[in-house]
Amino acid sequence: MTINDVFRASDFLIIGHRGAAGLAPENTLASFRLAIELGCPMLELDVQRIYSNDGTPRLCVFHDDRVDRTTNGKGLVKDYTVEDLIKLRCANDQPIPMLEDVLDLIRTYPKVALNIELKGQQTAELAAELITKHTYNPILVSSFHLEELAKFRRIDKTTAVAPLFARWRKDIAAVAQKLDATAINIAATSITQNRMTGLLEGNLPVAAYTVNSASQAATLKQYGVSGIFTDYPDKFVNI
Ligand code: G3P
Ligand code: MG
């Protein structure tokens, strides 16, 4: 199953944002498990590069630059070693997973797709390495960092990618085309009917983040948006 198949199979794709971030500690295995149980066909997570004590680079699944908001620790993620980061606890005693942990979890659910969002520098190579070894689930790689995403595309010519935009810009379709993208991911607040009409000419599915209200989802769907990232997949799946 490809990412194209995943979008095609659904009338409106419900993507579990950081798992089910509104219902469980975001970006933890508990959150991803819950999103799968709730029937999300796609999960989204954020990855950042950190180092093990022996200097090996790894990708941790974490959103913020600092650990303060979501864990019992303090300070910048980049200042943690893998060994120290995994000792921290999020709510409900959940540890911070490494990308491999999430890939291991989802491999037994081959219909579940994963959107790996590259946060920050030097994430492309590591992501490409892990994705090459992981042949079990459809994978979509996205990033606000278009240079990092372009680097990923140069290394991995086949995995689906989606440029990610926090704000509207006129060259979105051109950026997507240059990356040979499979989808476009964009802030829901940047979408208007007119802009969507233009984007749809490119024939790529557009996914909007972060949408937690049914009325906003309905409007976006009417504009031609193909799916939403939501913290509350329970509100949308099986509707
Ligand atoms: O990938 C969609 C969305 O997650 C982008 O924003 O800040 O929640 O990672 P953010
Ligand atoms: Mg994200």
**Four-CA torsion 142, 176, 200, 115, nearest 10 degrees:** -10
Average pLDDT over residues 215-225: 97
User: What pLDDT was estimated at residue 238?
Assistant: 65
Mean pLDDT value across residues 179-200: 97
Q: Please check whether residue 65 is in contact with residue 76, taking contact to mean a CB–CB distance below 8 angstroms.
A: yes
Question: What letter does residue 95 receive in the DSSP assignment?
Answer: P
Tokens read off for 110: 């081959």
How much is the mean pLDDT over the chain?
Answer: 97
Tell me the helix, strand and coil percentages in the chain, rounded to 5: 35, 20, 45
Pocket flag, ligand 1, residue 156 (CB < 6 Å)? no
CATH for 83 = 3.20.20.190
Whether 209 lines ligand 1, by a CB cut-off of 6 Å, is yes
Q: Check if the beta carbon of residue 208 is closer than 8 Å to that of residue 214.
A: no
pLDDT digits (tens, 9 = 90+) for 36-47: 999 999 999 999
Q: Quote the ligand 1 centre to 68 CA distance (angstroms).
A: 18
142 Cα: distance to centroid of ligand 1 (angstroms): 9
Q: What residues make up the domain containing 18?
A: 3-235
CA of 213 to the centre of ligand 1 (A): 17
pLDDT band at residue 144 under the 50/70/90 scheme: very high
pLDDT digits (tens, 9 = 90+) for 90-140: 999 999 999 999 999 999 999 999 999 999 889 999 999 999 999 999 999
* pLDDT band for position 237 (cuts 50, 70, 90): confident
Domain total for the chain?
A: 1
pLDDT for res 239: 54
Q: 229: Cβ below 6 Å to ligand 1?
A: yes
pLDDT at 180: 98
Q: Which ligand is nearest to the CA of 163?
A: 1
